[in-house]
Amino acid sequence: MRSNSCPIVDAMKKYSADKVLPFHTPGHKHGRGAHEFLRELLTPEGFRQEVSLMDELDDLHAPHGCIRDAQILAAQLWHADETIFFVNGTTSAIQAMIFGTLSPNDLIFVPRNAHRSVISGLILSGATPIFLPVEFDAEFNLPLNVTTETVTRAIKKFPQAKALLLVSPNYYGVAADVRKISELVHAAGMLLLVDEAHGAHLQFSDELPTSAIDAGADLAAQSTHKILGSLTQTSMLHMRKNFSAQVKRAASLLQTTSPNQILLASLDVARLQMEVDGRELIQAAVELSKNLRGRLKRIGLKIFTPKNFSFDATKVTVNVSSLGLTGLAAEKILRHEMKIQCELSDAANVLFLLTFADSDETISKLVDALKLLPHREPIKIPSPNLPREISRAKLSPRETFYAPTISVELKNSVGKICAEEVTFYPPGIPLLMPGEEISARVVELIEREKISGGKVLGVEDSSLSTIKIVR
């Protein structure tokens, strides 16, 4: 098997060239029955290859041919023992990672800003989270990451925990010290799981944070589509071999039984692209980001670079509060007046994602657009009040999910078990998670955030006059 081959693509081309008359799914039958709108989206060859479950196209749930070969090549490239392809998004990869390694009543350390897929993975596994505080940058008003000191305290307080889950790098490109944390976790006999959704490209530049697997993680879930060249919804889960049997069972429970072959092929092609040109392409994106950062600083904009954390510089976060704008307002101006779409906006910033698809031309257009943002009196964005404690949930997310619930007035909820997530956006870091005991301090923090007018997510009563608790 050649590393510069595309096993899945080769199998699909072979099937198409056979000119088989289809009496099988999908119903459009090589595109003959497709509506004209759909024909505008896919080429004739794309329709012929938009099939699945043919023997020569392999079985994602029991790979023995081209999918197996493609996953082996991916594991080799990303330095894993084994790799599983996902077409249900990184949500399913994270769920499988948790579901396949943890059991009911296991304890796992989870950063408070973990993606919602982590909570759904805990519901499936029955494990109980211990929430870790995340450092915060007051100047830019955004979350950083978990520190080694916090991990050390957590392990000392809960030595019986089974695993720790990191989000590294986070949405803003801030990475934890995965290597040091890996040493701490493994010395305590625990597993290290990493939500590396934003880090599939780290492997290919020495100027980026070390990839999770190279830094010692046991499993790492990556959104191959976020930075690399696969199609949206495609991801990979990289792992050490001693976890593979149970994780594969979990993945099979969570993945569709009708995987789209084009999505699988896009993972195969993305791997090939990185195999052949990865270091050159990713380094070019890094150099472009340096160029962009320099140009934006020269026009007087504040650009985020974290202190005391390693960092993916291809995430370019621009602070606009100094211009008298919120990030949300700046996003609307850029999108509707200048036809520039950012990756995200928050209270004080807009974030732009650079990849190997960008060029001097695209970043010049971005710089020109940012020059045209209106300049008003600078505004002060208040830093949010966030829990700083290491706190264990009273009930597991699974127990909370199935428990009967009632709504009570927020002021009467102290000492009760929260049955929903309470998150103000920005910054998007939950103040309460399902299964946590509601303290008087957290109620006070919620009341302060309500006064500040932040948008609340995850609750049934958006006014937060009432809150759902376990009955």
Residue 451's pLDDT is 72
- β-sheet bridge partners, residue 192: 164
Does residue 306 fall inside a structural domain? no
Does residue 295 fall inside a structural domain? no
Residue 423's pLDDT is 87
Residue 465's pLDDT is 93
- β-sheet bridge partners, residue 163: 108, 191
Closest by CA position to 181, among listed 109, 257, 98: 109
Pair of tokens at residue 17? 């060239």
**Cβ(424)–Cβ(384) below 8 Å:** yes
Same domain, 78 and 204: yes
Same domain, 41 and 179: yes
**Cβ(94)–Cβ(223) below 8 Å:** no
Does residue 200 fall inside a structural domain? yes
Same domain, 64 and 204: yes
Domain range for 415 is 393-470
Instruction: Write out the DSSP string of 120-175.
Output: HHHHHH--EEEEE---EETTTTEE----HHHHHHHHHH-TT--EEEEE-S-TTSEE
Does residue 325 fall inside a structural domain? no
Name every residue whose Cβ is closer than 8 Å to that of residue 353 and which is 6 or more positions away in sequence. 226, 227, 314, 315, 316, 343
Based on the structure, what is the number of domains in the chain? 2
Examine the fold and report which residue of 245, 276, 307 is the final residue of a domain before the chain moves on: 276
Does residue 303 fall inside a structural domain? no
Other residues' Cβ atoms within 10 Å of the Cβ of residue 25: 11
Residue 438's pLDDT is 95
**Cβ(431)–Cβ(446) below 8 Å:** yes
Closest by CA position to 422, among listed 468, 470, 379, 391: 468
The interaxial angle of helices 116-125 and 89-99, nearest 10 deg, is 40
Q: Give the CATH number of the domain where residue 466 resides.
A: 3.90.100.10
Residue 23's pLDDT is 87
Examine the fold and report which residue of 208, 243, 276 is the final residue of a domain before the chain moves on: 276
Does residue 442 fall inside a structural domain? yes
Examine the fold and report which residue of 257, 276, 295 is the final residue of a domain before the chain moves on: 276
Instruction: Write out the DSSP string of 230-259.
Output: SPTT-EEEEE-GGGHHHHHHHHHHHS-SS-
**Cβ(250)–Cβ(99) below 8 Å:** yes
Residue 1's pLDDT is 59
Q: Is 352 helix (H, G, I), strand (E, B) or coil?
A: strand
Residue 382's pLDDT is 78
Assessment of whether the complete model's pTM goes beyond 0.85: yes
Closest by CA position to 346, among listed 363, 370, 330: 330
Residue segments in the chain with a per-residue pLDDT below the cut of 50: none
Cis peptide bond upstream of 63, omega within 30: no
**Cβ(446)–Cβ(414) below 8 Å:** no
Does residue 361 fall inside a structural domain? no
Give the model confidence (pLDDT) of 416-443 as tens digits.
999 999 988 767 788 899 999 999 989 9
Cis peptide bond upstream of 259, omega within 30: no
Residue 237's pLDDT is 98
Q: Give the CATH number of the domain where residue 144 resides.
A: 3.40.640.10
Residue 380's pLDDT is 86
Residue 470's pLDDT is 97
Does residue 304 fall inside a structural domain? no
